[in-house]
Amino acid sequence: MSSLTESRSVTGRQGGRRMPRLFGEVGPALPAFLLIVFFFVAPVVALLLRSVLEPVPGLQNYETLLGSATYIGVFANTFIVSTVVTAAALAIGFPVAWALVVMPMTWSRIVFAILILSMWTNLLARTYAWMVLLQRTGLINKMLMAVGLTDEPLTLVNNLTGVTIGMTYIMLPFVILPLYGVISNIDKAVLRAAALCGANRWQALTRVLLPLAAPGMAAGGLMVFVMSLGYFVTPALLGGTSNMMLAELIAQLVQSLTDWGLGSAAAFVLLLSTLVLYGLMLKFFGTSRLGGQ
């Protein structure tokens, strides 16, 4: 405490008189602030305004968007794919995060390295790999046919199956890393206590470990869901033209059809859903801290 007041007086003497103290403290944030306001807040607000101003003022863009079966189909695709991807990422991610907490260091380091590498490898490179892997003559189809799971090559790409596989692949690290954090904070003595209380492994898993990991599952799951809602590259490359997702629709409306009003309205729907979900997340995990320490 004393060092804090001391430092205040030291810096205060230097910069005190000429500019107000507040400016000295907020000032350095100004370039970032201007950048964000001018090139982020302003353009986004402008875009949203276009959704109610173009071609004529009114809500007709939203009416079109919510009234047409085509667009409802796009919303449905987006919602279904995001839900499936989230569920799959959680189901695969939980055991992996758990294993990372308990397995010997040397192994977990290797898995971590792979996770980080896959996360930071160029998105297009990863998506390209899946385009090739999933094509009719691709490796996955060959393997499926070799083990006799199918006689005919399956259509795994240019449809929502491809999108789901590719997106699950991309989202996995975003579930595993936060879940790892939550599980490694659980005291293993609590699970020992469960065992001594008579809980077998299955009971300890369902009644203790999973409930304690639930906040992490919810947070990670929500994040993946939100990210999936607005994902563009992977659906555009692995999906088909007949099964569009929301981000692609926005891009197409703006770029190919130059229908700015409708495109902006679609962007606003996406933005609003994202913000609402983030708000939920904050409300959920900002106020109540489940799981104790």
Partner 1 sequence: MLLDFDRLGWWRWALGGFTAAVAAFLLLPIVFIAALSFGSSQWLIFPPPSWTTRWYSELFADQRWLDAALNSLKIGLVVTVLSVVIGLAASFALVRGRFRGRETLKALFLTPMILPVVVLAVALYAFFLRLGINGTMTGFVIAHLLVALPFSILALTTALEGFDKSIEDAAILCGASPFEAKMRVTLPGISAGLFSAAIFSFLTSWDEVVLAIFMASPTLQTLPVRIWSTLRQDLTPVVASVSTLLVLVTIVLMLLVALIRKGLSKP
Partner 2 sequence: MTVPFLKIDGIRKEYGPVVAVEDVNLTIERGELVTFLGPSGSGKSTTLYILAGFEKPTLGDIRLNGQTLLSTPSHQRNIGMVFQRYTLFPHLSVGDNIAFPLKVRRKSKADVTERVREMLKLVRLEGYEDRKPAMMSGGQQQRVALARALAYDPPILLMDEPLSALDKKLRDELQHEIRRIHHETDVTILYVTHDQEEALRLSDRIAVFSKGRIDQVGTGPELYADPATRFVAEFVGDSDFLSCRVTHSQGGRANVVLGGDFAVEGVPLHDERGTPGEGALLLRPERIDLSRSEPTGWRGLPVRVDDVTFLGSNVHVIAQTGWGETVSVRLPFGHEHISGLSRGDEAWLRFDPNEAHVFV
Among residues 6, 187, 272, 280, the one that binds partner 2 under rule CB under 8 A: 187
Cα separation, 287 vs 110, in Å, equals 36
- Token match 């320490």: residue? 293
Q: State the residue for tokens 């490796």.
A: 139
CB closer to partner 1 out of 15 and 73: 15
Residue 57 binding result from partner 1, partner 2, none, given CB thresholds of 5 to 8 Å by partner type: none
Task: Please report how close the Cβ of residue 216 comes to partner 2 at its closest, in angstroms.
Answer: 13
Q: Per-residue contact track with partner 2, 137 to 156, x per CB under 8 A? A: --------------------
From 93-101, 104-112, 202-210, 221-229, span contacting partner 2 (CB under 8 A): 202-210
Side-chain half-sphere CA neighbours of 251 within 13 A: 11
* Binding to partner 2, residues 203-242 (CB under 8 A): 203-204, 207-208, 211-212, 214
Closest approach of Cβ 174 to partner 1, in Å? 12
How far is C-alpha 90 from the geometric centre of its chain's CA atoms?
Answer: 12
Nearer residue to partner 1 within complex by CB, 67 or 95:
95
Cα 154 to Cα 66: distance, rounded to the nearest angstrom? 34
3-state percent breakdown (helix, strand, coil) of the chain, nearest 5: 80, 0, 20
Cβ atoms within 10 Å, residue 193:
13
Could you say which of partner 1, partner 2, none residue 96 binds, taking C-beta under 5 to 8 angstroms by partner kind?
Answer: partner 1
Residue 111 Cβ vs partner 2, minimum distance, rounded to whole Å: 24
Cβ proximity to partner 1, 28 vs 58, nearer residue? 28
Q: How far is CA 289 from CA 137, 168, 223, 253, 285, in A?
A: 50, 28, 18, 42, 6
3-class DSSP state for residue 200? coil
Binding stretches for partner 2 (CB under 8 A): 187, 189-190, 192-201, 203-204, 207-208, 211-212, 214, 290-293
